[in-house]
Structure 1
Amino acid sequence: MTSRILRAADGREVRAETLPRRAESAATGRRIVRATLQDWALGDLVDAAELVVTELLANAAQHARCDSVRLTVRRTEDDGVHVAVTDRSHQVPVLRLPGPAAQAGRGLAIVDRLAERWGHDPLPWGKRVWAELKGPS
């Protein structure tokens, strides 16, 4: 795991980690998000951000084509958080509404419910899937 603290163009701190593309990386992602949000005094967002990052990392573990993924956590100007997972797959995430008996396919529905907004950015080598969460008003 490679860890770096970066600065965004607007001067805000960004936590960036390269993680193995494995289902087990979700636990590491949750620890990173929890520690980062606590450092930034955004504890109210920890539970939702952990769920969102778990789902984004699970999707990347299932669909990406390389050995690692990149997790970034950035504070937004409205005291929210922007979390993203970058991978080398061009497969676009699709929000599905699975039936009650389905055993999979609810991940992006969870992200959609918890995030203020979410989406994906195509990249020349893959994509970045992101979500923004806002704190209580």
Structure 2
Amino acid sequence: MRVWEIREASQLPGLRRDLRRELAQRLPGNVLDDLQIVIAELAGNAVQHGAHGPIGVSIHTAGPQILTRVRSAGHYRHHTTPASDITTLAESGRGIAIIDALVDEHGHDHQHDVTTCWARLTWH
């Protein structure tokens, strides 16, 4: 399992580059693309809605399964904007719906003022 730490949104492009570099030999390109989108959305939400401080991003691969976790201080809750409420000009509200379309399952847990958002992908 590998863990990255970020503190602000400006670090997200570097995180995506590191993911691609590290996982390109182990994952098909389309799976890696989906994983990058999912992690960018989860980490971006943690930066935007979580408490200030480090955000830990971890990836665990086991055969065709990938589990990613984004852990941050604070107690926040993700919500999905109904598709009917999202306009083409909306600047936010699509992230969790996108994640839902790309992964097998996802969720979040809260313990001791720490939020962990996770997503599980399976590829064949």
Work out which of the residue numbers 3, 18, 35 in structure 2 matches 1:49. 35
Unaligned runs of 5+ residues in structure 1 are 1-13
Q: CA deviation at 1:42?
A: 1.4
Cross-structure match for 1:131: 119
Give the secondary structure class of the aligned counterpart of 1:90. coil
* Structure with the largest fraction of helix: 2
Cα offsets for 1:15-50 (capped at 9, x unmatched): 011111x111221221232233224x1134100001
For 1:103 and 1:128, locate their aligned partners in 2 and report how far apart those are by CA, in whole Å: 24
Runs of 4 or more off by more than 6 Å in structure 1?
none
TM-score (norm 2): 0.87
1:108 and 2:96 matched = yes
Give the secondary structure class of the aligned counterpart of 2:9. coil
In the alignment, is the contact (CA less than 8 A) between 2:73 and 2:114 conserved in 1? yes
Cross-structure match for 1:117: 105
In the alignment, is the contact (CA less than 8 A) between 1:33 and 1:73 conserved in 2? no
Give the secondary structure class of the aligned counterpart of 1:24. helix
TM-score (norm 1): 0.79
Cross-structure match for 1:92: 77
Unaligned runs of 5+ residues in structure 2 are none
Cross-structure match for 2:4: 17
For 1:48 and 1:60, locate their aligned partners in 2 and report how far apart those are by CA, in whole Å: 18
Give the number of aligned pairs. 120
**Paired-residue identity, %:** 26
For 1:68 and 1:110, locate their aligned partners in 2 and report how far apart those are by CA, in whole Å: 25
For 2:23 and 2:13, locate their aligned partners in 1 and report how far apart those are by CA, in whole Å: 15
Cross-structure match for 1:29: 15
1:67 and 2:53 matched = yes
For 1:69 and 1:34, locate their aligned partners in 2 and report how far apart those are by CA, in whole Å: 19
For 1:121 and 1:37, locate their aligned partners in 2 and report how far apart those are by CA, in whole Å: 26
For 1:29 and 1:38, locate their aligned partners in 2 and report how far apart those are by CA, in whole Å: 14
- Residue 108 of structure 2 aligns with an amino acid whose one-letter code is H
- Residue 17 of structure 1 aligns with an amino acid whose one-letter code is W
Give the secondary structure class of the aligned counterpart of 2:64. coil
